[in-house]
Structure 1
Amino acid sequence: MIKTSLKNISKITNGLFVHKICTTIEKIEIDSRKITSKCLFVAIIGKKLNGHNFFQEAINKGCVALLVQYKLPIIFPQIIVKNTTTALGQIAHWNRIQTNPLVIAITGSLGKTSVKEMTASIFSQYNKTLYTKHNFNNFIGVPLTLLRLKKSHRFAIIEIGGNSPGEISYLSKIVQPYIVLINNIYPVHLEGFHSLLGIAKAKQEIFSGLSQKGIVIINADSNNLKLWKKSIRNIKCYFFSIKKNNIFATHIKIYPNHSSFIAHTPFFKKILINLPIPGYHNVYNALASIAIATAAHVPVNKIIKGLSIINTPSKRLEFIQLNKYITIIDDSYNSSNNSILSAIQVLERMDGYKILILGDIKELGRNTISYHLNVRNMICHAKINKIYSVGYYSKLITDNLIQGKHFNHPFIMLPYLQKKIHHIKKNTFILFKSSRNHQLDTVINLLLKR
């Protein structure tokens, strides 16, 4: 972040500065274990932990001041604010304005992280680029990402998520992007939004922070174009699609471990794109990143190279060789009907014996049963040898399927799977598909340790 004074921090946050000292800070930290010199400790009150309980550790580690919601009973520099989470966002917004990069904000139901990684790979070929790390896409993670900005950064690629109405609007105003992307709309986080229309309205909140003369990029194959077009009538917009549009793809070829297509854009006409990852859905993700790069006038050679060397985000169709016969495909980061369909399509293209392991789909609310039954219908027609379900609702997927078997818990399945793997002596692919909190990633780790 930009070096600034504690006095300025109190002004930015409209805070009360007590036990004043005249000094500057060069870093902000919310984790007392990571405190270094010239650091301001922000005491966040979360669902599980209260940062105010760790002020002494922060002081011992060398922080110069505390940003708190109530005065602590110590003689030490403190800036007291109404809400430390809000104050964190205010400081992050200030840092974003001071550094002034070209900011890109990415949202959508599926593929946000993949698009972010692809876009970051492209822009990093062109100039110094900061981008969201891990899943820092919420009201804590986005400000922390913006606080990493320095004047040397030319671009910032920020992933924005939301579980309820208003979150994306709040974050968009902090980020103040020049280019925004809505990648797609699918039934994810239905508990917070109740319907696909609710999700679509929430995603369009990303327009609320769009800077003047900003650019909007939208998936033209979405069912919500009419809704969004009303909000962007006077805004420059690019649409991407697998059908003819501003940015579109032809000659799509999907292989077991990579894919290729020809991208058509308003400026570059035809570009041969080679992706080191499989999946039809990744063609869409690549088109989104190409649209962003096109809007930012990134040279075509940077686009081609950036997409050719992208790294697969962890636990998103990550290929892991277990032994000479078995390949694990780890897609255990998140789950929805559409991402399950994408995973099935990838698995079907593998040349060998195919096993699919599914966990419950989370946050579907009142649609939970119907969506699990929809997955069952998809699987009935899939060319997959064995299907194991794990959890509670996932039993609906494999119940009475000849090739199916259900387990109530991942660790009940583990010994069964270990025994089966021990006897496999032919080319086999095992795809794990679930939400993060279903512990299938732990099962994978235990299999790899054997």
Structure 2
Amino acid sequence: MQYPESYQRFLDQDAKVFTDTRKPLKDGIFVALSGPNHNGNSYALEALEQGAAYAIVDQFVSQDPRLIRVENTLKELQEMAKIHRRRFKAKIIAITGTNGKTTTKELCHSVFSRAYRTQATEGNLNNHIGVPLTLLKIKEDTEFLILEMGANHPGDIHELCAIAEPDSGLITNIGKAHLEGFGSYEGVLRTKPELFDYLKAHGGQRFCSLFSEPLQKYATIEPNAIAFGPQQDACEFSGRLIQSFPEISLEFYNKQESFLIDSHLFGEYNFQNIVAACCLASYYGVPASAIQKGIAAYVPNNMRSQVIKHNSNTIILDAYNANPSSMIQAVQAFEQMDFKNKWIVLGEMAELGIYSDIEHQDLLNQVMDKTFQKRIFIGTRYRLDGIKLPDMHFENAASCKAWLDMNWPEDTAILIKGSRAAGLERLLQ
């Protein structure tokens, strides 16, 4: 078969693809992507000097024969990924949703790897660049790829499905996030189900969560949809929560059996993620013992529900991402935890656009009646007139850290939650 030069070089070199010259790959292929504030073509020669075998560009750079000129580097990257995906028989399970998609993906990877040769999205490389980079890592013996799909604009999921061509898909939930890009919550409601639209049109398997009210209708209107949720009599796969803290334990049910699951996660929102992962694994024939071991082996890190001991305090660091839905879920879960002294430290939520002020005020209103010893708010979006002692407000993480360094409590549980842009991890440095 005749392949485009870019992909043929990729095969000839058995190469890896990279897009950032700060993280060069020797003998790899550099794809010169451009954005609003940079032109990747300007770094092509630098990539070659650093050891890249080839560089893919869409502007004239030089006569160097290692430069592969194409019309559009992003589209070329995506086309290379599509070709690579079609060459292999790996089943692709796509996971999207407002919250929980990364945790669900990691749980699935841990579980599926105990029964199949499995790959998964690394980190959160879940957009129009990250998905192609993930697809290009598929190996000949890969049996399953757990592929995370993110979106912040209408049509994003449709575009990613056209590239990845998933065999099945699961939507964790639908909530308020990226409202700036979607335009409104209604925009989110229309975009996430694009995954189901693709699967329906191409004969793929859809997994419908009964935990999320906006998704419940798909369990009835979607032919051949597989439902999972908390009610054993309402769906094919279900879970019964036994405890949510200090670590979740549950009983999982399928049509053939039930078995206990222990985990290192906490909170009812993570209970939903565990049931989702168990549903996928059980459907694809992963034995119960492998599911149990896979869930138990996953330990949250990278500022996602990460539990840290800080002197005599217990810190719950959940500062990789935040939106109105995940913020209140985290606060509610923390409120139920059995600690004598509890503080919450809430940073700003990013990408809310014209809804930012009202959503921050709504969050503030919801947490003021919670039984915490102290509430600390970080960021200018929180209105000062709603915050009174002993609660506190700081304009940024640096000023909050300066105060905390002199005033850390003792024997206290502290929830730290906010968007990545707030840099709340610096509070612990």
TM-score (norm. length: structure 1): 0.88
* C-alpha contact 1:399 1:406 (8 A) present in aligned 2: no
Question: Structure 1 pair 11/435, CA: closer, same or farther in 2 (3 Å)?
Answer: closer
Gaps of 5+ in 2: none
* C-alpha contact 1:355 1:387 (8 A) present in aligned 2: yes
Q: Which moved more, 1:146-155 or 1:237-246?
A: 237-246
Q: Does 1:286 align with 2:286?
A: no
Post-superposition CA distance 1:195-241 (Å, at most 9, x none):
222112111112354384421012123333477569x744x211122
Structure 2 residue aligned with 1:125? 114
**Residue 4 (structure 2) aligned to one of 6, 9, 26:** 9
Q: Displacement, 1:296?
A: 1.5
Distance (Å, rounded) in 2 between the aligned partners of 1:168 and 1:83: 21
SS of equivalent residue, structure 1 residue 171: helix
Post-superposition CA distance 1:57-87 (Å, at most 9, x none):
2222333332111232223233322211111
Structure 1 residue aligned with 2:260? 272
Structure 2 residue aligned with 1:224? 214
Question: Structure 1 pair 208/400, CA: closer, same or farther in 2 (3 Å)?
Answer: closer
Q: Does 1:198 align with 2:187?
A: yes
Question: Structure 1 pair 36/365, CA: closer, same or farther in 2 (3 Å)?
Answer: closer
Distance (Å, rounded) in 1 between the aligned partners of 2:295 and 2:341: 30
Q: Does 1:260 align with 2:255?
A: no
Question: Structure 1 pair 24/308, CA: closer, same or farther in 2 (3 Å)?
Answer: closer
Post-superposition CA distance 1:105-161 (Å, at most 9, x none):
000000111101111111011122111111101111111111111112111001000
Structure 2 residue aligned with 1:305? 293
Q: Does 1:437 align with 2:421?
A: yes
Q: Which moved more, 1:363-372 or 1:275-284?
A: 363-372
Q: Does 1:78 align with 2:67?
A: yes
Q: Does 1:243 align with 2:257?
A: no
Summarize the alignment of residues 137-216 of structure 1 with structure 2, pairs less than 5 Å apart. Answer: 137-210=126-199, 212-216=202-206
Q: Which moved more, 1:428-437 or 1:214-223?
A: 214-223
Q: Displacement, 1:441?
A: 1.5
In structure 2, what residue type is equivalent to 1:380? M
Q: Displacement, 1:91?
A: 0.6
- Detail structure 1 runs of 4+ shifted over 6 Å in the superposition: none
Distance (Å, rounded) in 1 between the aligned partners of 2:396 and 2:278: 41
In structure 1, what residue type is equivalent to 2:411? N
Distance (Å, rounded) in 2 between the aligned partners of 1:151 and 1:354: 50
* C-alpha contact 1:33 1:57 (8 A) present in aligned 2: no
Structure 2 residue aligned with 1:52? 41
* C-alpha contact 2:161 2:198 (8 A) present in aligned 1: yes
Q: Displacement, 1:362?
A: 1.9
Question: Structure 1 pair 71/400, CA: closer, same or farther in 2 (3 Å)?
Answer: closer
Distance (Å, rounded) in 1 between the aligned partners of 2:28 and 2:304: 35
Q: Which moved more, 1:258-267 or 1:70-79?
A: 70-79
Distance (Å, rounded) in 1 between the aligned partners of 2:302 and 2:28: 31
Question: Structure 1 pair 195/34, CA: closer, same or farther in 2 (3 Å)?
Answer: closer
SS of equivalent residue, structure 1 residue 271: strand
* Aligned-CA RMSD value: 2.4
**How many residues of Structure 1 are paired with residues of Structure 2 in the alignment?**
424
In structure 2, what residue type is equivalent to 1:222? S
Q: Does 1:428 align with 2:398?
A: no
Distance (Å, rounded) in 2 between the aligned partners of 1:69 and 1:341: 45
Post-superposition CA distance 1:349-395 (Å, at most 9, x none):
14231111111122222322332232223213322110010111123
Distance (Å, rounded) in 1 between the aligned partners of 2:365 and 2:236: 35
Q: Displacement, 1:306?
A: 0.8
SS of equivalent residue, structure 1 residue 224: helix
TM-score (norm. length: structure 2): 0.92
SS of equivalent residue, structure 1 residue 125: coil
SS of equivalent residue, structure 1 residue 321: strand
Q: Displacement, 1:409?
A: 1.8
Q: Does 1:102 align with 2:100?
A: no
SS of equivalent residue, structure 1 residue 8: coil
Q: Does 1:337 align with 2:324?
A: yes
* C-alpha contact 1:67 1:78 (8 A) present in aligned 2: yes
Structure 1 residue aligned with 2:283? 295
Question: Structure 1 pair 35/317, CA: closer, same or farther in 2 (3 Å)?
Answer: closer
Q: Does 1:362 align with 2:350?
A: yes
Q: Displacement, 1:338?
A: 2.5
Q: Does 1:42 align with 2:31?
A: yes
Distance (Å, rounded) in 1 between the aligned partners of 2:219 and 2:404: 50
Distance (Å, rounded) in 2 between the aligned partners of 1:395 and 1:357: 15
Structure 2 residue aligned with 1:16? none
* C-alpha contact 1:29 1:41 (8 A) present in aligned 2: yes
In structure 1, what residue type is equivalent to 2:376? Y
SS of equivalent residue, structure 2 residue 114: helix
Distance (Å, rounded) in 2 between the aligned partners of 1:246 and 1:178: 20
Post-superposition CA distance 1:4-27 (Å, at most 9, x none):
x9x7233869xxxxxx9x954532
* C-alpha contact 2:121 2:148 (8 A) present in aligned 1: yes
Structure 2 residue aligned with 1:416? 403
Q: Which moved more, 1:290-299 or 1:342-351?
A: 342-351
Question: Structure 1 pair 72/208, CA: closer, same or farther in 2 (3 Å)?
Answer: farther
Question: Structure 1 pair 220/38, CA: closer, same or farther in 2 (3 Å)?
Answer: same
SS of equivalent residue, structure 1 residue 151: coil
SS of equivalent residue, structure 1 residue 430: strand
Distance (Å, rounded) in 2 between the aligned partners of 1:225 and 1:376: 27
Q: Which moved more, 1:111-120 or 1:309-318?
A: 309-318
